[in-house]
Amino acid sequence: AGIKVFMDGSISGETADNTRPYPDGKRGVLLTDQDKLLAAVGMAKAAKVQLAVHAMGDAAIQLILDTTANLTPWLSETPSVRIEHASLLTDAM
């Protein structure tokens, strides 16, 4: 069991949050901002469950990495934060 958060949409629907726009000029959508992500982290920590974060676009993934980079893990058997469907990654990520 865990908590799931949606950061963005899908690549096929052109709603994954990207740094570079789609051909129509849109960048996608960000469904969860940093404050809401941190609130979800707090809930997952308090419940001692994993936080699973849906993110496909590189901007959404980078926001997760920036937000959680310095957190102390609260689970020992599994990652405390998991990014699901991570599709567009840079080499640095």
**Parent domain of 21:** 2-84
pTM: 0.92
Residue 29 belongs to some domain of the structure? yes
pLDDT of residue 1: 74
Judge whether 90 lies within some domain. Answer: no
Which parts of the chain sit beneath pLDDT 50? none
For residue 64, count CB atoms less than 10 angstroms from its CB and return exposed for 0-12, middle for 13-18, buried for 19 or more.
Answer: buried
As for how many domains the chain has, the answer is 1
* Domain presence at residue 75: yes
Beta bridge partners of 53: 5, 83
93 within a domain of the structure (yes/no): no
